């Protein structure tokens, strides 16, 4: 069992999208029981809320349901509760380092370099239009299958 926490700044656009695409993919592959997953944000602005409506709409257009997801903030316990914490951009990685407790067992990695071997971030789409959300979705959707493959070893 591998446990994975997707994180971003707000836990309302990128990391819930990654969580929903991951859930859909491992379920389709029949390997959901090999994983535990969740998503969280470095910030607290959206705690308790459903994901950003544009992110939900974009994912739904690709057959991915994220209506049940609720934003939460990452905490120190998460560094002990998860094997792998996956950020979206360099700011996320800096933010993770800043709150990482000593003795943390979690490995922290950035999604696209880890999954696709490309030095690329998933840019923050917040406040942009539908095309930007489409690009965000496309990049996450490209990264998740090779991520799962890598984790299945
Ligand atoms: P996310 O996007 O990190 O992909 O969820 C953001 C959402 C909200 C904010 C920042 C980023 N915000 O500042 O409220």
Length of the chain: 153
Mean per-residue pLDDT for 46-72?
A: 98
Ligand 1 contacts (CB < 6 A) are 8-14, 45, 124, 126
Element (H, E) at 141: helix 130-152
pLDDT interval class at 76 (50, 70, 90): very high
Distance, CA of 142 to chain centre: 13
> Is 78 a residue of the active site?
no
Q: How many CB atoms are closer than 10 A to CB 1?
A: 7
> Is 150 a residue of the active site?
no
d(CA 96, CA 105): 13
d(CA 143, CA 4): 14
pLDDT interval class at 26 (50, 70, 90): very high
Q: Which residue has the tokens 């560094």?
A: 79
Check residue 135 and give its pLDDT. Answer: 98
Check residue 23 and give its pLDDT. Answer: 98
pLDDT interval class at 128 (50, 70, 90): very high
pLDDT interval class at 68 (50, 70, 90): very high
Label residues 66-77 b or e (16+ Cβ within 10 Å = b).
beebebbbbeee
> Is 91 a residue of the active site?
no
Label residues 87-108 b or e (16+ Cβ within 10 Å = b).
bbbeebbebbeeeeeeebebeb
Contact 88, 121 (CB under 8 A): yes
SS3 of residue 110 by DSSP: strand
Check residue 80 and give its pLDDT. Answer: 97
How much of the chain exceeds pLDDT 70, in percent?
100
The residue annotated as part of the active site, out of 13, 14, 38, 89, is 14
Check residue 29 and give its pLDDT. Answer: 98
Mean per-residue pLDDT for 24-46?
A: 98
Check residue 141 and give its pLDDT. Answer: 98
Check residue 56 and give its pLDDT. Answer: 98
Q: Which residue has the tokens 């994983």?
A: 35
Mean per-residue pLDDT for 71-75?
A: 98
């Amino acid at each position: 069992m591998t446990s994975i926490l997707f994180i971003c700044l707000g836990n309302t656009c990128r990391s819930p999208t990654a969580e929903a695409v991951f859930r859909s993919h491992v379920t389709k592959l029949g390997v959901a029981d090999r994983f535990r997953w969740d998503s969280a944000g470095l910030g607290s602005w959206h705690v308790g809320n459903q994901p950003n409506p544009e992110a939900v709409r974009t994912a739904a257009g690709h057959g991915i349901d994220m209506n049940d997801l609720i934003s939460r903030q990452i905490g120190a316990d998460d560094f002990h509760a998860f094997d792998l914490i996956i950020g979206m951009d360099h700011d996320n990685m800096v933010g993770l380092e800043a709150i990482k407790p000593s003795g943390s067992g979690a490995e922290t990695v950035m999604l696209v370099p880890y999954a696709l071997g490309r030095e690329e971030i998933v840019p923050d789409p917040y406040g942009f239009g539908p095309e930007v959300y489409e690009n965000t979705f496309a990049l996450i959707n490209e990264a998740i299958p090779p991520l799962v493959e890598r984790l299945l070893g």
